[in-house]
Structure 1
Amino acid sequence: MQCEYFGICGSCRDYEEGYEGQLERKVAAVQEMFAPLFPGGITICPSTPERYRSRAEFKIYHDENGISYAMNRHDRQGALKIEHCSIVSATIASVMDKLLAHINDLGIGHKLFGVDFLASQEGEITLSMLYHKALDDEWKSNAQELEKRLGVYVIGRSRKQKLILSQDYITEKLRINDREYRYIHIENSFTQPNPRVNEQMIEWSLAQLEGIGGDLLELYCGAGNFTIPFATKFERVLATEISKASIHAAKQNMALNGVENIEFVRLSAEEFTQALDGVREFRRLEGLKVSDYRLKTLFVDPPRAGLGEEPCAFASRFEHLLYISCNPETLLRDLEILSRTHMVTAMAAFDQFPYTHHLEMGVKLTKKETL
């Protein structure tokens, strides 16, 4: 990928020797990091080198020449004005090219300080416009015209205000092992930003779960990105998540894909542990008998902070563990704890964020006494 902003823009930080060079450096680093725990080969799941991001956020820069897109500078010395971005999807790039001119024409650029894009691989897109002012009926009327001109869904946001003109979500389609899955992705909520790598993550994870059977427990399930395909491998799935909006979307996605063997519950990982051990009772579990589940497999995809000592102690109860991590450093810490009871049997690296130091990891662990 060729980009005139490499070395100046703070988004892409590792650009020497192109895409292959940055991936090779990241893979070498994690191979060395995890060698004491897993000397075997790490499966590498690369990204496309450009047009891979389906979610993007840009500042809006105001000066005497009007409004421009902007990003933080690599040297942290203010903002960098940009005209285009090579890592956003073709759908987002197409809208970016036209958007600012229409904002100027419709007179809705005053106090606008940011624009967030969320796109599907099928071409749907939400456009969240962020303002330092209250939004009124005049703004709404002009924003509705913007929707018509660009064929997008516009959401207006300001302090304590969110205006949805038609809808605040897109429907994504993922192709997993020759099967199509559909997901509702809501703007301003977590979604995987690189759909092609996301497909590879799910396919690799499904391969690790082959032949285990029984019931699955998933913590940090989000909107069901992994949960719904995983339901094909187990009799029942019990999935927990603390976010009310994510649980709502997960239930919609389950219905959208015709899946019936998942129970989504709004509980934190700590709360679920308390419920499973009979320490506390929760109304949110009313009518659900957790003790009836044959939970021998655990899947976790935690935040960057990882699990930590107590959640790892809970995880160590399970025969099979599958761990997706967005932070190799906290993953290493957790694996050093889990290695007391489990053996790492497979590992993968997913390049969700090319040209950065970030690399997502997948780890399959099996309890030592069952090997």
Structure 2
Amino acid sequence: RADKQGVVKISSCSIVHENIARVMQPLLESIRSAGIAHKLFGIDFLTSSSGEVLATLIYHKALDESWSVSAREIESKLGIFIIGRSRKQKIVLTQDYVTETLHIFGRDYRYIHIENSFTQPNALVNEKMISWSMEQLEGVGGDLLELYCGAGNFTIPFATKFDRVLATEISKASISAAKRNMELNGVSNIDFVRLSAEEFTQALDGTREFRRLEGLKVADYHLKTLFVDPPRAGLGEEPCAFAARFDHLLYISCNPETLLRDLELLSQTHEVTAMALFDQFPYTHHLEMGVKLTRKGHL
């Protein structure tokens, strides 16, 4: 039943990962008993399939040493990692990441997932999504360009299908994690570059130079395949015009509405040759979609 503010209070959340559901109530009870609930605004959770749980406690007040002492006790008691955040403050007690392992085509891939950075939320569905994507890239060869690469979720398995991979991402934290993940998996044929999609287009066309590309000759790549996994806003007109340059295009979308808009543009030059749905968020209206497009006349 809703209260006067229209809020419905719940005591459990069965749609989250079982690792998170298991610690939510004990964590709240421990926070209250430790006396560190004052001005606690929210809690963000991050977990891995191996059972690691990272909880970020977000406050509307500055955190002091006494908070750290109490939070460390809760860490030890519950066997989780805790981070404290408030305005212009981040306290990492043990570590700010969990390590995920994905099983794809008989190989294990390990990823460091950093707190407050984008990660795929559903490990089992993520494995299916990567596997399907790799099947679409079978036999394409050459070099791959990836935009919006995040922490290398797709990039690292994709590297087994191509001579070289050039992957771009605007987030510093994600690029740092991607490089760590590349080393973690013993992959060496990827260049991760911190550029936006627009900046990379400028670099490829030679209309602007970037220090971040120093020592890397983009023109030396034989880029005929593009992979994109953009934010909910999708690509839009100019990025779609850029994508149309490639013979092969693989598009993972978290928003079917913006995907439809982009496909109306891309279908002028390309044909859809494969499509799949992935339910990353059970019991919600959200869906991930994968689409493979091939240049007309190139089939």
What do residues 110-148 of structure 1 show as CA deviations (whole Å, max 9, x unaligned)? 111211110100011111001111100111111111111
Name the structure 2 match of 1:162: 90
**SS at 1:329's partner residue?**
helix
Name the structure 2 match of 1:270: 198
Name the structure 1 match of 2:21: 93
Q: Find out whether 1:114 has 2:42 as its counterpart.
A: yes
**SS at 2:180's partner residue?**
helix
Of 201, 212, 232, 1:284 maps to 212
Amino acid at match of 1:85: C
Moved over 3 A (4+): 75-78
**SS at 2:9's partner residue?**
strand
- Which whole-Å CA distance do the structure 2 matches of 1:322 and 1:339 have between them? 13
Range with bigger deviation, 335-344 or 101-110: 101-110
**Aligned ranges for residues 17-56 of structure 1 at < 5 Å?**
none
**SS at 2:273's partner residue?**
strand
**SS at 1:98's partner residue?**
helix
CA root-mean-square deviation? 1.4
- Aligned-pair distance for 1:226? 0.4
- Aligned-pair distance for 1:182? 0.5
CA contact (8 A) 2:58 2:85 kept: yes
Q: Find out whether 1:211 has 2:211 as its counterpart.
A: no
- Aligned-pair distance for 1:76? 11
- Which whole-Å CA distance do the structure 2 matches of 1:115 and 1:308 have between them? 34
- Which whole-Å CA distance do the structure 1 matches of 2:81 and 2:27 have between them? 13
- Which whole-Å CA distance do the structure 1 matches of 2:174 and 2:6 have between them? 34
Q: Find out whether 1:321 has 2:249 as its counterpart.
A: yes
Please report the TM-score for the alignment, with normalisation by the length of structure 1: 0.79
> Structure with the greater relative contact order (CA < 8 A, sep ≥ 6): 1 or 2?
1
Identity of aligned residues (%): 75
What do residues 210-231 of structure 1 show as CA deviations (whole Å, max 9, x unaligned)? 0000000000000000000000
Count the aligned residue pairs. 299
**Aligned ranges for residues 1-371 of structure 1 at < 5 Å?**
78-371=6-299
- Which whole-Å CA distance do the structure 1 matches of 2:5 and 2:286 have between them? 22
**SS at 2:297's partner residue?**
helix
Consecutive unaligned residues in structure 2, runs of 5 or more: none
Amino acid at match of 1:364: K
Range with bigger deviation, 92-101 or 328-337: 92-101
